[in-house]
């Protein structure tokens, strides 16, 4: 099976975090040979905690296995969408050193424009419109194509791109691990036949891919389902073993609670408010103090985390401070948070090992009153 062979060469040449990363990467490479059959193409976010983990090597290996690759460490927005238009949607763009492109010292205007194009190109039909020639006639440029980015640190991939990406974490090799090292003149012998076999297999299954409607895990949100669907379709054609592998990989890499450092600051605030809000109302002063006392939370380190900042960050969730206690105190009601908590945060998992309490049935007014919040 060609997917097994692709996964095997990846395991021999690079160190990834675990099995799920190898599964996802193998299927992502395969999906680039079937672009005409998909309406979504997930971004591939390759990152490592430190240098010398093989990110550039992995991009190089990917370039040997996809049909058409374009590798760059710096590209302007016009160059990107004009190249996509010229070379076609089957061209895979491999962008190295994304931490420099989108980092703190980057050209913010250029980085923002590039981020928008990369985000838009996830879905078929997305275009960049520019005025051309002396007459400034508007022209649409297709931006739908596969893109992989590699950089150092969890923030090497911008947040909105991460939301459209399958994240591949790399690890630095330790002395007990062995990888296959190769020279440039060995590339064709190592990867040439694999690329040809993969292209041939993808051509043979192309007719069957688009009509497939795989069952997507309910634990994935709507966007995650869109970006994983091409990989699920390929796995369905590949057989039961790959169906099981992609299911486990998708749940491990894209389901579950978002890590606090990967969430927006406002979403982190919403989550932390749920943790400290233990009554039906809280004065603003008490809420801020409780948030500042949370371990590993950023609030005590923010100089201007005051009532105005709190209100501004919660406003986008339609949560506003209100007067209570006769108008002498302003604060927040728990009911204002309940809808945003349900919509934007994962459910709170039940406590393990806790015996459920059996409700007491009684007509006694005293007992009933005791159960009121």
pLDDT tens-place string over residues 142-157: 889 999 999 888 777 8
Range in 132-141, 243-252, 339-348 the model is least confident about? 132-141
The residue with greater pLDDT, 229 or 134, is 229
- pLDDT tens digit sequence for 191-233: 999 999 999 999 999 999 999 999 999 888 889 999 999 999 9
Lowest mean per-residue pLDDT among 119-123, 241-245, 317-321, 345-349: 345-349
Coil/strand/helix, residue 106: coil
Percent of the chain with pLDDT over 70: 91
Res. 158: pLDDT tops 50: yes
Domain residue ranges of the chain, discontinuous segments joined by +: 2-254, 260-344
Q: CA Rg, the chain, in Å?
A: 25
Higher pLDDT, 50 or 62: 62
pLDDT for 185 equals 81
Query: What is the token pair recorded at 281?
Result: 């109302």
Residue 80: the pLDDT is 81
φ and ψ at residue 272, rounded to 5 degrees: -70, -30
Alpha-carbon distance of 2 to 201, in angstroms, equals 8
Instruction: Select from 5, 60, 51 the least CA-distant residue to 170.
Output: 51
Residue 86 has pLDDT above 90, yes or no: no
pLDDT at 263: 56
Identify the pLDDT of residue 209: 93
> Is the separation of the CB atoms in 332 and 284 below 8 Å?
yes
With H, G, I as helix, E, B as strand and everything else as coil, classify residue 166: strand
Q: Is 260-344 in CATH node 2.60.40?
A: no
Q: What is the CATH number of domain 2-254?
A: 3.40.50.300
pLDDT given for residue 211 in this prediction: 93
């Amino acid at each position: 099976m060609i997917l097994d062979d692709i996964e095997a060469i990846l395991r021999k040449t690079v160190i990834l975090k675990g099995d799920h990363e190898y599964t996802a990467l193998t299927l992502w490479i395969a999906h680039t040979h079937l672009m005409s059959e998909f309406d979504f193409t997930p971004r591939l976010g390759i990152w490592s905690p430190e240098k010398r983990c093989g990110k550039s090597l992995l991009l190089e290996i990917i370039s040997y296995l996809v049909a058409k690759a374009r590798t760059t460490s710096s590209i302007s927005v016009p160059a990107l969408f004009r190249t996509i238009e010229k070379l076609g949607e089957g061209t895979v763009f491999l962008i190295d050193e994304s931490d420099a492109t989108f980092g703190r010292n980057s050209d913010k205007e250029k980085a923002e424009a590039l981020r928008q194009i990369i985000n838009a190109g996830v879905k078929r039909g997305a275009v960049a419109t520019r005025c051309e020639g002396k007459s400034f006639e508007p022209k649409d440029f297709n931006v739908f194509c596969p893109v992989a980015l590699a950089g150092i640190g969890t923030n090497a991939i911008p947040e909105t791109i991460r939301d459209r990406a399958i994240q591949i974490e790399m690890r630095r090799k330790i002395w007990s691990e062995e990888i296959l090292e190769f020279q440039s003149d060995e590339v064709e012998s190592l990867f040439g036949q694999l690329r040809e076999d993969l292209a041939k297999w993808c051509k043979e299954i192309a007719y069957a891919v688009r009509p497939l409607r795989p069952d997507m895990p309910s634990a994935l949100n709507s966007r995650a389902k869109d970006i994983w669907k091409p990989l699920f379709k390929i796995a369905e054609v590949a057989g039961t073993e790959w169906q099981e592998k992609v299911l486990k990989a998708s749940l491990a890499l894209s389901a579950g609670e978002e890590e606090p450092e990967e969430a927006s600051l406002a979403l982190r605030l919403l989550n932390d408010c749920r943790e400290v809000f233990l009554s039906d109302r809280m004065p603003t002063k008490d809420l801020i103090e409780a948030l500042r006392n949370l371990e590993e939370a950023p609030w005590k380190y923010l100089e201007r985390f005051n009532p105005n900042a709190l209100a501004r960050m919660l406003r986008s969730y339609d949560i506003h401070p209100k007067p209570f206690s006769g108008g002498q105190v302003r604060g927040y009601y728990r009911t204002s948070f309940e809808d945003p908590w349900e919509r934007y945060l994962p459910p709170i998992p039940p406590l393990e090992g806790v015996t459920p309490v059996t409700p007491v049935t009684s007509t006694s007014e005293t007992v009933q009153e005791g159960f009121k919040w």
